[in-house]
């Protein structure tokens, strides 16, 4: 049995589930910018630092794939993080055109600080959902990500491979013992 259009309109306060999700994402993105601003980082900066922390040094092309950004945008992100001394470029032996990007100690410290601020923010935002509802939401959202997109979400820490872990393995509270 399908809900009528009028029932659907009552279920979602905007024109469709996609638009509702986009509005939530937009609101969370604005909040993330506010949370990360004191750390002089954006969400993309945080994503790159996190990928380097989880998987070790990588080339810009692979990192661009992790973040879902174009090559020139990746160059700008790395340039910015390098100017803050959060990452370093290292020449790849035997390939004059390729550079490996690695996280510096300063970058690792900044990442930990920003992640702590992000966890505090997430705790406040998602406090309206209990732990089971948060896990269910994560499961639903991960199912909406097209296969192969944002592989860093699924790759095991320290691996170079793209993993395909079920959403149930997502640790919603990494700073809490369970």
Q: What angle do CA 69, 70, 71 make, to 5 degrees?
A: 120
Q: What is the pLDDT of residues 46-92, one digit of tens each?
A: 999 999 999 899 988 888 888 889 989 999 999 999 999 999 999 88
Domain assignments of the chain as residue spans, ordered by start = 39-145
Q: Name the more confident of 20 and 88.
A: 88
111-146 pLDDT, tens digit per residue, is 999 999 999 999 999 999 999 999 999 999 888 877
**pLDDT-above-90 percentage for the chain:** 51
Q: Does domain 39-145 have CATH number 3.30.465.10?
A: no
Residue 53 CB burial class (10 angstroms; 0-12, 13-18, ≥19): middle
What three-state secondary structure class fits 173?
A: coil
* Phi, psi (rounded to 5 degrees) for 73: -65, -40
**Binning pLDDT at 50, 70 and 90, where does residue 170 land?**
very low
H-state helical runs in the chain? 5-11, 17-36, 43-55, 60-67, 71-83, 105-125, 131-144
């Amino acid at each position: 049995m399908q809900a009528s259009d009028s029932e659907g309109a009552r279920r979602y306060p905007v024109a469709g589930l996609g638009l509702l999700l986009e509005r939530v994402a937009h609101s969370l993105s604005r909040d993330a910018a506010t949370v990360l601003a004191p750390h002089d980082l954006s969400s993309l900066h945080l994503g790159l630092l996190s990928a380097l922390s989880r998987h070790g040094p990588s080339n810009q092309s692979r990192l661009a794939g992790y973040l879902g950004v174009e090559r020139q945008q990746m160059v700008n992100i790395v340039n910015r993080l390098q100017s803050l001394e959060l990452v370093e470029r290292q020449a790849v032996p035997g390939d004059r055109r390729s550079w490996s990007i690695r996280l510096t100690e300063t970058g690792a410290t900044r990442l930990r600080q920003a992640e702590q601020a992000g966890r505090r923010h997430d705790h406040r935002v998602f406090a309206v959902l209990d732990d089971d509802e948060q896990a269910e939401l994560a499961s639903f959202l991960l199912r909406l990500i097209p296969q192969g997109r944002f592989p860093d979400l699924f790759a095991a820490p320290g691996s170079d491979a793209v993993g395909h872990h079920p959403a149930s393995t997502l640790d919603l509270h990494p700073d809490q013992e369970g």
